[in-house]
Each structure stands twice: as structure tokens, then as C-alpha cells.
Chain A
Amino acid sequence: MSNALTHLQRLEAESLHIFREVLAECEKPVMLYSIGKDSAVMLHLALKAFYPAPLPFPLLHIDTGWKFREMYQFRDSIAKKYGLELLVYQNAEGLAQGVNPFTHGSQVHTDIMKTQALKQALDLYRFDTAFGGARRDEEKSRAKERVFSFRSSSHRWDPKLQRPELWSLYNTRKHKGESIRVFPLSNWTELDVWRYIEQEAIPIVPLYFSALRPVVEHNGMLIMVDDERMPLGIDETPQLKSVRFRTLGCYPLTAAMLSQASTLPEIIAEMSQSKSSERQGRLIDHDAMASMEQKKQQGYF
């Protein structure tokens, strides 16, 4: 008799089950693709779930216009490599108003260029189901999130109106106009994601690996100067430091960490010893105690 499955095999099998359930029961799914490591794992799992069929839904990237340049290159190379249908959406109104993280602050920028943009894109393409790479271990308010998370026709998340999820049975029924966010990585932890990337040799953005990069220190955070739009103080000069990123978002809002880890085993070893949480590097989370919950209610995924 064969041995029981390892925990990574069980997580993988569960995620594949979730992907297939959506395809079998939902009308118009899309995968929210944020280019980061979780998206990379999610895409890999989706390719596995439907093999030998090609990916049966498009990828949607909500582009704030402020991602790292390497992220854009990586995104396009992946779409090309796997022959994926990639939709890129920007909030045209926000763009015209010149919304940016420096003058408008992280909250306004994230709301207009990310949350509102996402809602606009879902309405435009009439997607009824959107896969997201969020994990329950990321943040406290996510610990109670369902795998199938229901949103009203105005994309609001009501924590009190979520359906109980038993066994591996998912109720995918919804009324016209309502939508579902589906999180195939719900039960994965950050460490699981890294181990799986290593085990499966999944391509990820090189920014995750340590290298010499130009950074400035802002409020105790190391911010990479990725292009000339970054306003610098008179006494601020970018310094080359050996850094890597634990999560990737908009470059002005994503702090780098000092690290020498330039291979996956080194990253995993460093991770295992880590004393700080993954979201510490995200400026948006520091605003208020329950900020994630509020953002989720407004439609952030």
C-alpha cells in the first residue's frame, strides 16, 4: 500500500478540486493575477487542474500603474510562455486624475486604483467568479473567510452573510448580479507557498531573490527607487543594498528587506527563522487595526 499524502500533496489536491468545482458550476470565471508568488502558485495549480486542456479562463491584472518594472516584464513573459489570455485593466478615471501613492497616500491610491478598478473590471467583463490568491494565514480577518466568498451585486462583502462550508462541498448558487471570490490557496501558509515553488520549480519574479538594488529609507522602510517618478528629498540618495522582497505590490508601497538569500533554499531557511510577518512590508495594512476587514467590505479581495 502506498503511503499517505504529504501535506503539500493534500493542499495541492484540495486546490485542484476547488478550481474544477468552479469550472463545473460557474458561468464566467476569471483569475485575478497580481504577478506575485501566490499568483504564480495559483496559476501553476490551475494549469494542473485542467491539463491537458488549456487554461479555460483569462487572467485579469488590475494595474495600478505603479508595479515594479520587473513585474510587468515577468507578467508578459509568463502570458507568452503559457499562451494565456491576459486582460490588463486600469481605472481610466483615476489615471486621468493622476492618482498616485505619493500625493494621495496609500489608502486613496489603493482604493481608487485597486479596489475600484477591480469592481469596474468585473462589471465590464461580467465575470461571475474570480479566483484570488489570498490565504487565511495572511491576516486575522482572513482567518474566517470562506473558500467561496459571496459578494453582493455592488461587490460588498458581508461577514455575517457568508455560507457555512462543510467537508469539501461548496454551494456555488447565486442570484444574477452577485459574484463569488474563490480562494484556492485558503489553507496554504506563506511557508507552504515557498516550499511548493521550490518543489515544483515555479517561475517567480526575480525581485523575490536578493540582489543589489537602489533603495532609500522612508519611515524606517526600505523603498526601492524603481523609476524616476519617485520623489526624493534633497538629502536622499539611493543606496545600493542587498535586498529582496517578501511580497510584491506597488513599488512605492512595498518595503524591501535586507537579505543575502538568493536561492529558494536560502529564502526558505530565512523564512523559517523569520521574526516578522509577511504583511509587515505592506504599508497599506498599518493604517488601522481592522483595516483589512474594512477594505474587504468595500470590495477589496
Chain B
Amino acid sequence: MNRQELNSPPQSHAAKTLLRFITCGSVDDGKSSLIGRLLYETHAIFDDQLQALASESKRLGTRGSDLDFALLVDGLAAEREQGITIDVAYRYFETARRKFIVADTPGHEQYTRNMVTGASTADVAILLIDARKGLLEQTKRHSYIASLLGIRHVVLAVNKMDLVGFDERIFRDIENAFRQFSREMAFTQVIAIPVCAVDGDNVSSRSPRLNWYQGEPLLDYLESVTVDRGELDAPFRFPVQWVNRPHADFRGYSGQIASGVIRPGDKIRVLPSGRQTSVESIVTYEGALPEAIAGQSVTLTVADEVDISRGDVLTLSDQAVECGAQFEATLVWMHQQPLLQGRQYFLKIGTRTALCTVAPVKYRVNIHTMEHVSAERLEMNDIGVCELQLDQSVPFEPYTVSRILGGFILIDRLTNDTVGAGMLHFALRRSQNVHWQALAVDRALRSAQKQQRSCVLWLTGLSGAGKSTIADILDQKLLQLGHHSYVLDGDNVRHGLNKDLGFTAQDRVENIRRVAEVSKLMVHAGLITLVSFISPFRSEREMARSLFDPGEFIEVFVDTTLAVAEQRDVKGLYKKARAGKLKNFTGIDSPYEAPQAPEIYIDTAVLSAMQAADLILSHLRAAGFLVGPTP
């Protein structure tokens, strides 16, 4: 193709299709040069930008007086200084037949996170290889991530052919090695192209310097590759995004069709409720449509008054999706704070958000060797296979079937950061065989018998703050008043139920999870449950709170300064920790995250243990937990 043909007459624009691809390579493979070259060859770079490039090339470039195309695509000032790109950037260009969106991802330590992000929306991956270096571990890593994220078409661009004398044998060796290796990947098409990105050989036109190569140049391939994901032929899937209800006479369900086709009159099912109705009309600004297809954002109205909300998935009646609350999934960790088993995160999938606990991590994948390594947590840029436990049943499809109904992100509940991304494999059947057993004697009956309303008092604070002393006094007072209470003490529980747990962050999370579940059983048994645990992490206390109805989880912050607690040092633990004989000790080398809004605040500098117990007691009375006759 010559450069003139790339500029098409305007009337053909309407029929253009869109191709999204990702370029992968490390700092020196010439990735930025290749993208810069593609932009240049397709006239996506204007004269004023070229002018700026020329002056920047002289000042910052690595190519002498030649244009350094890599500078075209290095955006932010901080990156300029380091000479590397540090985030996913998106570039745009077009030819007569297609518009292209390029996800440009850098190749250094944050690579996994960035490449996963870029690959999540890509149809094709271009893997850059330096002809002098051949197939490296990183190429395998890129292939693994591309395959994992569902990319099925791969271009192996063997770059810097000029530096190996345009030698065909070197190219073929690399190609063969890659074909051999990539058999294990889920690619449907692999093509290899020898290129010299800085000079443009085989980028938009075939290179005379590489005349032994008979295949297409890169741009021709990108223009013609068919990347049908089968979304049009797949069953109809419609995650409800927003309920459009401008007035009493109209109720529509807006969303983007994930797959399939829908027409008025089609019988549909609402998941997870399973209710059925039929489509009345497909409403758009331009008027009602006779049909709508995968990818379109539309609004549907239905024939019957059924309950449909955001997060539900509409399907055809006889082609419903599965629902599940427990899954196996691949998880990519994207945050400095590691993934902790047992901690609760928000999980967003499609248009639905659920609470999710990861337990357990089955294994981590060594992305250099693809080996499975046993692991208890995932660090930034780790990829692992985990089991997920959700707080509700969600409609889903395996990621290999649907990116939209099988891809999810995890959000930290406190920082609101996106900390992980994942791909569902399948639902675990476990949950379907364990049903909640309804029992005749319920919590209300048990509580009434004890003349109280059951609740949990969660005492948190540093070691030595006086939690157990206060709990003990309170327990005695409640007994004297004729109530039924029980103290779950941190040390005591670690003698039995939790004796397999240590004091790492991971184990502390599990420690609290178990105690929270036990206290929930006790509250069901009608008891006023006193929990006396350091419970240093806010997330876990919030997790514990979420197990209970509003009002029945009472957080009591027993506040002492570290200096005072350390001075008391009843158990001699601070001394040991300071001497380095006790690792992960709260307040010394493990953090304590103080409650921000506890129901009860106890300042031990002001109140004695007895006064503190009385304060809690008066709270219980005022809040109506002690319904019996008071002496």
C-alpha cells in the first residue's frame, strides 16, 4: 500500500470498523518507535507535532539528528526525564478501512498490571522481539498475559532486523521457537513479521531489504484481520445498568448488550430472580428499533410488572445464565497492599457490585516459568488462582465465554482503590449442596427467654489497654443482673479454635474472621457476646460488623497511648517485642488502625475498668438490649 491510499474519501468513513490492539515489549525493543512509525505512516501526526518532535529529538532523542519517534508517544513530564513510559497510554490512527486504538503498555516492573489493563480491551497483541536477543522470558510472559486476558490473535514483530543483517535464518529460528512455545497458549492465530521499526520496513509497505519475506506488512495485517469474538451469535445477555423512570407511565431498563440479539416479543428471564416476561419495545432516541445487537447501548421496556434492578442480567427465557456465590477465578493483583485471604473487598462484575472474600489462594503463577507456586497472599503484579466467596448470588459466565460477564475488579473497602482484577472460571458447587437449615427455636425466642436482646460488644485496642479486664467485670455484672453473656477472649481463643494461626497480617485477618463468625453464632444463640480482641485492622472490624444487623454490632474502642500500654506491660510482651524476640507485635512493628467512629469510646486515662464496664452497661440499657427487670 502506498501512503496516498491511506487517505480515503470522507464518504467511506461511516462503514469503518474498529480494531483495538496492544503492543508489548520492553524498554529497548523499539515498541515506542513502532507505534510512532505507525502514527507517522498513517498521517496521524501533524506538522506542528512533527516540528515539536524534531526539536525534542535533538534535545532528548537517542537517534542523533534523526527523528526519534519514541518521543511522540512518551507523554508525561516525569516519564520524559526517566526516558521510559510508566502507564497505559492510548493512541489513535486510521486507514481507509479501519480505525485503530492502540494500548501502549510499558515494559518494566509495573508491567503485569499495565499489560493486563491494556489487554483487557484488546483484540490483537503485537509482541515486539529484538532480533539480536531472540525469544526471551519476557516474551513468554507477554504471551501468557495476552492469552489469559482472552486475546486470540498474535503478531510476533521481530524488530531491529537491520542490526542482524536482515538475516532470514535468524528470523525463522525465532518464529519457530515461538510457534513451539505458543502451542500451550489459547491463540487461534499467530503470525510473524520481520520489521525494522525505526526505518519503517514492513510497517506499512513491504521492505525491499527483507524481500525473502512473502507475507503482509504489519499494517495490512491489522487492516484485514477478522477478530470475531462470536458475540453476535452468542446467547442474548443484557446487564441492566440503569432503570430509566422519568414518570409514572414509563419504566425502561438501560444497558449495553453484552452478546446476542434481541427483538420485541422475545421471551426473557431476569437473573438472579429467574422471573420471566417479554420485551415490549427497544427504545432509543431515534425511535423504536426492530432489533438490537451485541455492543449497542439501548433501553428495553417489558410487558409485565416484574422487579428488575441495576445489576440484574436479562437473557432469553430458554438461555439463562448461571448464577453463583462461590467461584474459582484467576486474580491479578494491582496494588502495593497485598491481597489478604479472608479480607472483604467490593467485587464489581458487569453492573453489579457484591462483597467478596478471597479464601483461599490456591496457588500463584510464576509468570516467568508458568509454574504453580503455593502462596497465601498475592503481591502487586502477582497472578494467582483463588476461590471467591460472595455475599450474594450473581449471574455470570466464564471469562473465556464472556469478558463482560466473567471479568471483574476488586475494590478496597477503605481506600476505594482498584486493587485487583480477575477472570471467573466456574462456580463452585459447594454452596448449592449446603443449605441454611431453618430451625424452630430462633434467635428472638432465645433472647426473650433470657430477657435481653442479643448483640456483640466488640472491644478493640492495643495489647495491655485493659480490654479483657473490662470484659471480665462487665460479664460479672451482667450475670448478677440475670443476663446471659459470654466473653470471647483473644488469648483464650488462640489456645483452641485459632491455635493454628500466627501473627502475620494474613493470620490476623483469619483470626478475626473466625471470631466474627463464632460471635455471630453466639448472637443467634441469644447471648450478649463480649469480644476482647486487639483486632488491629479497620477492614476486618468492618467485615465483622457487616455480619450483623444494624445496631447489634457495638464497637468499643478501649483507648490507651502506646506509652502507657507499654509501661503497664502486664504480660511482658512489649519488652519482648522491643527486644526483637516477638515479631509482628501490634503497636511496635505491626500497625494498629484506630476506629474512626466507635459506638463507645473509653479513654483509660480517665476511666477505671469498673467505670468503663458501667459505661458500657448504661449504653446497653439505653439501647434496649437489657429488657428484663432492673434491680
Instruction: Mark A residues whose CB is within 8 Å of B.
Output: 1-2, 4-14, 16-17, 20-21, 23-24, 47-54, 136-137, 140-144, 159-160, 162-169, 171, 173-175, 186-187, 189, 191-192, 195, 199, 265, 268-269, 272-277, 280, 289-290, 293-294
Contact = CB atoms under 8 A, between A and B. Distances in A.
Contact of B261 (A2, A272, A275): A2
A199 B92 contact: no
B561 interface: no
B10 A265 contact: yes
Contact of B242 (A13, A20, A136, A275): A20
Shortest beta-carbon contacts, A-B, top 3: A53-B246, A16-B297, A7-B18
B116 A166 contact: yes
B113 interface: yes
Contact of B92 (A13, A169, A189, A280): A189
Nearest to A48: B285
Contact of A277 (B48, B232, B334): B48
A141 B88 CA distance: 12
Contacts of B421: 164, 166
Contacts of A269: 9-10
A175 to B, nearest CB: 6
Contact of B285 (A10, A47, A169, A189): A47
Nearest to A187: B101
A143 B246 CA distance: 37
A5 B49 CA distance: 32
Contacts of B201: none
B76 A159 contact: yes
18 contacts: A5-B295, A7-B98, A8-B13, A13-B297, A20-B255, A24-B242, A24-B310, A48-B284, A51-B283, A144-B87, A159-B87, A164-B421, A165-B117, A167-B403, A171-B409, A275-B47, A276-B47, A280-B46
A136 B103 CA distance: 12
Contact of B297 (A12, A53, A159, A174): A12
A166 B17 CA distance: 22
Contacts, number: 194
Interface string B512-529: 000000000000000000
B241 A53 contact: no
A115 B405 CA distance: 40
Contacts of A175: 416
B48 A276 contact: yes
Interface string B113-137: 1101100110000000000000000
Given A166-B120, A195-B13, A280-B46, A143 B348 contact: no
B58 to A, nearest CB: 13
Given A17-B256, A143-B91, 10 more contacts: A8-B14, A24-B241, A141-B77, A144-B89, A163-B418, A164-B421, A169-B409, A171-B417, A277-B46, A277-B49
A2 B10 contact: no
B572 interface: no
A195 B421 CA distance: 35
Q: Which bucket holds chain B's interface residue count?
A: 35 or more
A276 B46 contact: yes
A141 B76 contact: yes
Main SS class of interface, B? mixed
B207 interface: no
Contacts of B334: 164
A52 B10 contact: no
Interface string B388-411: 000000000000000110011101
A167 B46 contact: no
Contacts of B285: 47-48, 51
Contacts of B108: none
A175 B238 CA distance: 30
B351 interface: yes
Contact of A187 (B77, B90, B228, B404): B90
B430 to A, nearest CB: 27
B202 interface: no
A265 B8 CA distance: 13
B76 A173 contact: no
A217 to B, nearest CB: 18
B242 A140 contact: no
A144 B74 CA distance: 10
Contacts of B88: 144, 164
B295 A13 contact: yes
A1, A144, A189, A191, most chain B CB atoms within 10 A:
A144
B16 interface: yes
Contacts of A167: 120-121, 403-404, 407
A16 B256 contact: yes
A143 B293 CA distance: 30
B233 interface: yes
B76 A144 contact: yes
A276 to B, nearest CB: 5
Interface string B74-118: 111110100000011111101000110100100000000110110
Contacts of B349: 169
A280 to B, nearest CB: 5
Interface string B32-53: 0000000000000011110010
Given A159-B78, A159-B87, A169-B407, A2 B232 contact: yes
Nearest to B414: A175
B89 A17 contact: no
Contacts of B99: 7, 189, 192
Contacts of A7: 16-18, 98-99
B73 interface: yes
B76 A290 contact: yes
A276 B15 CA distance: 26
Contacts of A53: 244-246
B15 A6 contact: yes
B322 interface: no
Interface in B414-466: 416-418, 421
Given A49-B297, A171-B348, A171-B418, A272 B7 contact: yes
Nearest to A171: B418
Interface string B228-253: 10001100000001101110001010
A60 to B, nearest CB: 22
Given A7-B18, A53-B244, A159-B76, A17 B418 contact: no
B232 A4 contact: yes
Nearest to A288: B77
B213 interface: no
A13 B256 contact: yes
Contacts of A277: 46, 48-49
A166 B117 contact: yes
B48 A280 contact: yes
Interface in B1-39: 7-10, 13-18
Interface string B292-321: 010111010000000000100000000000
A9 B296 contact: yes
B55 to A, nearest CB: 9
A268 B10 contact: yes
Given A16-B297, A24-B242, A276-B48, A144 B75 contact: yes
A169 B15 CA distance: 28
B159 interface: no
Contacts of B113: 164
A189, A273, A274, most chain B CB atoms within 10 A:
A189
A51 B284 contact: yes
Nearest to A21: B241
Contacts of A20: 241-242, 254-255, 297
Given A167-B120, A269-B10, A52 B244 contact: yes
Contacts of A191: 13, 94
A21 B296 CA distance: 15
B89 A143 contact: yes
Contacts of A11: 18
Nearest to A47: B285
A257 to B, nearest CB: 12
A141 B245 CA distance: 39
